[in-house]
Amino acid sequence: MFSDRPRRIAPVLLICLVVSLPMAGCAPEDPAAAMLEEYRSRIARVVDVDLEPEAMPPLAAWPRSRERTLAVPPLRAGLGRFLSLHRCDLGSLIGERSSQLGRVMRPNQLLSYEHRFLLAAERCLIRLEDDPDREALRADLADIVAFKRERLPVLAWNATLGGSDLAGAHALDVPALAPERAELAGQSEVDALRLLADRLSRLGRDELDMDAWDAPWEVLSRSAFPGRVRRGVQLLTHYLDEVARLLEARQAERPLCPQGRPTRDADILVNVFRGYHADSVQPYLVAIDGAQRRWFAAIDTLSAAQRVTPPQGFAEFAAEALEPSGSAWQSLVAARQRHTAAWQDVLDRCALSPAAG
């Protein structure tokens, strides 16, 4: 999807800087962090090993504006001379852009304006075909249309993947996706990205539906879904690794079942696994996995609709954080595998695995 060049990892503000801090000290409230900390604490009480918690893995921050946006080539020719083309209906559009509000259009508004201008200008070119007195003016307008069409993909990028709405939605100073709402979260945001991708494929053509133009951007501007999913991935990666470390350390120092038969500690530990893990941690892991994969797919659809090369800073970030092959997601995959292997070792060596029964 994007470049696979390595990227520096930018440390971000973590909700809890140190795992051992009381959960009450975390802000804002984070039910997922509390649930996973409770899981780690229950395991730690049973295995009873002296093990300092490791630091939370950092997350790469969404690129800053200068790293994610593309320079827009300026239109050097003035449009004032086309105001006389009354039949072409360009006057109102030119006035819209030169107004006080028009000079500070948001990227999505500018994209709408450029689309509408192109359609009106191309209709104007057809009307001027049989007017020899306007031949020079028609040639100038044709040049402007060609220029605007050429830079339209740049404006599309800046209004979507390079824009502030997606950047804000990926802010990391948020709690993780809440466990009770994780399974079905994010559908409106996924739909917004797909709608944007569809619009990009129709830009500059009459078939593009302009109704509710701002709607997908408004959805994204109000959303924290992708940032909360990434926080969920971060928490799961950390806590699955922490639990695996605790189990591995106990087995290395004082095996839970030295005789190969269940002990009291082993029974308590397995009850935590089959109860708290199965009822709380595993469903959350499945929900975050699904949410992240849906978001990856929607981002991929939107990126495939672009007709420009992304800025290098964004491409490097995307390869790290917005693809299943990126190190952020692969770290969770590795933590999940380590966690599974550590539990399997306990179950096997204590004759508590299903096969042993």
| The pLDDT value given to residue 8 | 41
Q: In terms of C-beta density within 10 A (0-12 exposed, 13-18 middle, 19 or more buried), how is residue 264 classed?
A: exposed
Residue 110 predicted with pLDDT over 60: yes
Backbone φ and ψ of 276, nearest 5°: -65, -45
- Angle at CA 332, nearest 5°, toward 69 and 248? 150
Whether residue 326 sits in one domain with residue 301: yes
In a domain, 116, yes or no: yes
- Least Cα distance to 31 among 53, 42, 15 occurs for 15
- Least Cα distance to 153 among 302, 1, 312, 305 occurs for 305
Asked if residue 151 lies in contact with residue 72, where contact means CB atoms within 8 angstroms, the answer is yes
How many angstroms separate the CA atoms of 251 and 70, rounded?
A: 54
Please compute the mean of the pLDDT values over residues 65-80 and round it to a whole number.
81
What digits encode the pLDDT tens for the residues 25-71?
344 589 999 999 999 999 999 999 988 889 998 899 999 999 999 99
* Predicted TM-score (pTM) of this structure: 0.86
| The pLDDT value given to residue 158 | 98
Whether residue 274 sits in one domain with residue 131: no
**pLDDT band per the 50, 70, 90 thresholds, residue 83:** low
| The pLDDT value given to residue 17 | 37
Whether residue 149 sits in one domain with residue 95: yes
In a domain, 186, yes or no: yes
Whether residue 139 sits in one domain with residue 193: no
Instruction: Mark which of 136, 157, 178 sits at the end of a domain.
Output: 157
Whether residue 182 sits in one domain with residue 303: yes
Whether residue 198 sits in one domain with residue 251: yes
What digits encode the pLDDT tens for the residues 247-259?
999 999 999 999 9
CA distances from 97 to 118, 141, 198, 343 (A): 13, 17, 25, 64
- Least Cα distance to 299 among 324, 329, 278, 334 occurs for 324
Please give the tally of structural domains in the chain: 2
CA atoms within 13 A of residue 303's CA, in its CB half-sphere: 19
Backbone φ and ψ of 217, nearest 5°: -70, -35
Please compute the mean of the pLDDT values over residues 197-219 and round it to a whole number.
96
| The pLDDT value given to residue 81 | 56
What digits encode the pLDDT tens for the residues 310-339?
999 999 999 999 999 999 999 999 999 999
Whether residue 116 sits in one domain with residue 43: no
In a domain, 5, yes or no: no
Please compute the mean of the pLDDT values over residues 74-84 and round it to a whole number.
61
In a domain, 18, yes or no: no
Whether residue 190 sits in one domain with residue 104: no
Whether residue 298 sits in one domain with residue 248: yes
**pLDDT band per the 50, 70, 90 thresholds, residue 86:** low
Domain extent for 229: 23-67+163-349
- Least Cα distance to 159 among 308, 323, 316 occurs for 308
Whether residue 184 sits in one domain with residue 321: yes
> Which 3 state secondary structure label does DSSP give 149?
helix
In a domain, 4, yes or no: no
Looking at every residue in the chain, the average pLDDT score rounds to 87
Whether residue 247 sits in one domain with residue 104: no
In a domain, 13, yes or no: no
Asked if residue 266 lies in contact with residue 352, where contact means CB atoms within 8 angstroms, the answer is yes
Instruction: Mark which of 157, 188, 217 sits at the end of a domain.
Output: 157
In a domain, 193, yes or no: yes
Instruction: Mark which of 157, 190, 222 sits at the end of a domain.
Output: 157
Task: Identify the DSSP state of 175.
Answer: P
How many angstroms separate the CA atoms of 49 and 109, rounded?
A: 59
| The pLDDT value given to residue 105 | 92
**pLDDT band per the 50, 70, 90 thresholds, residue 100:** confident
| The pLDDT value given to residue 355 | 57
In a domain, 10, yes or no: no
Whether residue 179 sits in one domain with residue 38: yes
What digits encode the pLDDT tens for the residues 116-154?
999 988 988 888 888 887 788 888 888 889 999 999 999
